[in-house]
Amino acid sequence: MTPHLRLGVNIDHVATIRNARGGDHPDPWRAVQVVEAAGGDGITVHLREDRRHIRDADLDVLMARTTLPINLEMAATEEMLEIALRHKPHAACIVPEKREERTTEGGLDAAGLHNHLAPMIARLNDAGIRVSLFIEPDARQIDAAIRLKAPVVELHTGRYAHCEGAELATELRRISDAAALAARNGIEPHAGHGLTFDNVGPIAAIPQLRELNIGHFLIGEAIFIGLDASIREMRARMDAARG
């Protein structure tokens, strides 16, 4: 039987809307409670260097209150490593981070950054934090993740989400090949970025994938149908694709 595909809900953009007015509404903690009630399997937050969405105090609150596993997306910096080691979230997903980008634009160069990442991953592994590397779906990056002893990779679906026509099949194949390669080597494959109701199906159908992390679309759609309905509909589409 195909294993359960977890849905991690990225609530960063609840904080983005809050921060636009500088107050405390909408409250990310309230969003977490909705995720819990709607059957989400985890909470993902990206504490960026510029704190443009989630802030340190949000992380304190979420860590103290939710029973859902927290997946902390973080740049490979000393500052973020210290924060992760202090909070000990369930998982830490290392992402590339450029100050000027609007969102995480490409995968981490796990191969090129081996020497920088190796001690960081070792410290996170030693602390019992499940390390994930956010990488492009290609064999070179999976090989690097194996050498780095990362237990999880998250495959960047951004290119898949933004292409069309013949390219779509090529991208989907790249993601499914990468998921299969990771799984064959004992690495748990996850995926995320740019996923929507319309494009999640073919990704959710990849049997080796164990988790999808989805944020911007779910929070955007919540404006029209509510966060609870948005999460439940995504869950239903994932389940339908999984068969």
In the bound state with ligand PXP, the residue whose beta carbon lies nearer, of 12 and 171, is 12
Catalytic residue (one of 13, 73, 136, 156)? 73
**Residue 136 · residue 106 · CB < 8 Å:** yes
Select 133 or 243, whichever has its Cβ closest to ligand PXP. Answer: 133
Closer residue to ligand PXP (CB): 26 or 243: 26
Question: Is the Cβ of residue 176 or residue 215 nearer to ligand PXP in the bound state?
Answer: 215
> Would you call 46 a catalytic residue per the annotation?
yes
Q: Which residue is catalytic, options 13, 46, 53, 156? A: 46
For residue 37, the minimal CB distance to ligand PXP (Å) is 20
Provide the minimum distance between the beta carbon of 1 and ligand PXP in the complex, in angstroms, as a whole number.
26
Smallest gap from Cβ 219 to ligand PXP, in A, equals 8
Residue 179 contacts residue 209 (beta carbons within 8 Å) = yes
Taking the complex as a whole, the smallest distance from the CB of residue 212 to ligand PXP amounts, in Å, to 8
Q: Tell me which residues touch ligand PXP (CB under 6 A).
A: 10, 12, 46, 73, 93, 95, 103-104, 134, 154, 192-195, 213-217
Query: Residue 193 catalytic?
Result: yes
Catalytically active residues, by annotation: 46, 73, 193
